[in-house]
Structure 1
Amino acid sequence: MTTAPHPLLATARALADDLLAPHAARVDREVVPASHLAAIRSSGLLGVSAPVEYGGAGAPDAVAREVQEILAGACCSTWFVQTQHHSPVRMLARSALPMRERLLGPLATGELLAGIAFAHVRSFPRVPVRVTAERGGRRFDGRVPWYTGWGLNDVMLLAGVSEQDEVVFAFTEAREQPGLRASEPMRLAALTAARTVSLELDGLWLPEEAVVLRTPREQFALVDRPRNTNASPAVFGVAYAALRVLEEAGEAGTAAALRGPLDEVRGQAYALADHPVPDERIAERLALKTRSYDLMRAATTAAVVAGGGRAVGLDRTAQRLFREGMFLLVQGQTAEVRRAHLDALARL
Structure 2
Amino acid sequence: MTTATPASHPLVARARLLAREVLAPRAEQVDQEGVPASSIEALKRSGLLGVSAPREYGGAAAPAAVARETAEILAGACCSTWFVGTQHHTPVATLAQSELPVRERLLGPLARGELLSGVAYAQLRAYPRRPVRVTRERGGWRFDGTVPWYTGWGLNDVMLLAGVTDADEVLFAFTEAREQPGLHASPPMRLAALTAARTVSLELDGLRLGDDAVALRAPYEVWAAGDRPKSTNASPAVFGVATAALDLLDGDPAAKDSAGALRERLDAVRRQAYALAEHPVPSERIDERLECKTRAYDVMRAATTAAVVAGGGRSMDLGSRAQRLAREGMFLLVQGQTAEVRTAHLRSLSR
TM-score by length of 2: 0.97
Shift of 1:5: 2.2
1:180 matched residue in structure 2: 183
In the other structure, the counterpart of 2:107 is 104
Separation (CA, whole Å) in 2 of partners of 1:166 and 1:105? 27
Letter in 1 for 2:274: Y
2:72 aligned with 1:77: no
**Structure 2 residue aligned with 1:257:** 261
Match of 1:140 in 2: 143
Aligned to 1:300, which of 295, 304, 323?
Answer: 304
User: 1:3, 1:154 → 2: CA distance?
Assistant: 31
1:152-191 aligned within 5 A:
152-191=155-194
| 1:216-252 deviation digits (Å, cap 9, x = unpaired) | 1111111001110000010000000001011243423
- Summarize deviations over 1:173-215 as a string: whole Å, max 9, x none: 0001010000000000010010000000001000011000011
Question: 1:123: Cα distance to partner?
Answer: 1.2
Matches of 2:46 and 2:202, distance apart in 1? 30
Q: Tell me which moved more, 279-288 or 242-251.
A: 242-251
Q: How far is 1:4 from its partner? A: 4.9
- Matched length: 347
Aligned to 1:127: 130
* Secondary structure in 1 matching 2:250: helix
Q: SS of the residue aligned with 1:247?
A: coil
How much has 1:254 moved relative to structure 2?
1.2
User: How do 1:1-348 residues align onto structure 2 when only pairs under 5 Å count?
Assistant: 2-250=5-253, 251-347=255-351
User: Quick one: which amino acid aligns to residue 274 of structure 1?
Assistant: E
**Consecutive unaligned residues in structure 1, runs of 5 or more:** none
Distance 2:126 2:115 in 1: 29
Structure 1 residues 7 and 278: CA distance shift in structure 2, 3 A:
same
3-state SS of paired residue (1:277): coil
Q: What SS is found at the alignment partner of 1:341? A: helix
Q: Secondary structure, in 3 states, of the residue corresponding to 1:150? A: coil
- d(CA) in 1 for partners of 2:252, 2:151: 34
Q: In 2, Cα distance between the equivalents of 1:23 and 1:4?
A: 25
CA contact (8 A) 1:249 1:307 kept: no
DSSP-derived class of the 1:238 partner: helix
2:331, 2:210 → 1: CA distance? 36
TM-score of the aligned structures, taking structure 1 as reference length: 0.98
Q: Percent identity?
A: 72
Deviation at 1:314, TM superposition (A): 1.3
What CA deviation, in whole Å up to 9, does each residue of 1:23-54 have, x standing for no partner? 00000000101110101101100000000110
SS of match in other structure, 1:185: coil
Does the 8 Å CA contact 2:6/2:65 hold for their aligned counterparts?
no
Letter of the 2:17 partner, please give it. Answer: A
In 1, Cα distance between equivalents of 2:228 and 2:270: 19
Q: By how many angstroms is 1:312 displaced?
A: 1.6
- Encode CA deviations 1:74-94: one digit per residue, 9 max, x unaligned: 000000100000010011011
Deviation of 1:264 after TM superposition, in Å, equals 0.8
Give the deviation of 1:71 after TM superposition: 0.2
Deviation string, structure 1 residues 118-173 (Cα, Å, up to 9, x no partner): 01101122210010101210100000000000000100000000011111000000
Counterpart of 1:246 in 2: which secondary structure?
coil
Letter in 1 for 2:57: Y
CA RMSD across the alignment: 0.9
Distance 2:267 2:168 in 1: 42
CA distance in 1, matches of 2:215, 2:161: 10
CA distance in 2, matches of 1:62, 1:282: 20
What CA distance in whole angstroms lies between the structure 2 residues aligned with 1:290 and 1:112?
Answer: 35
Does the CA-based 8 Å contact 2:6-2:66 persist in structure 1?
Answer: no
Looking at structure 1, the residues matched to 230 and 48 of structure 2 have their Cα atoms a distance apart, in angstroms, of 20
Please list every run of 5 or more consecutive structure 2 residues that lacks an aligned counterpart in the other structure: none
Paired residue type of 1:80: F
2-side partners of 1:252 and 1:11: how far apart?
Answer: 30
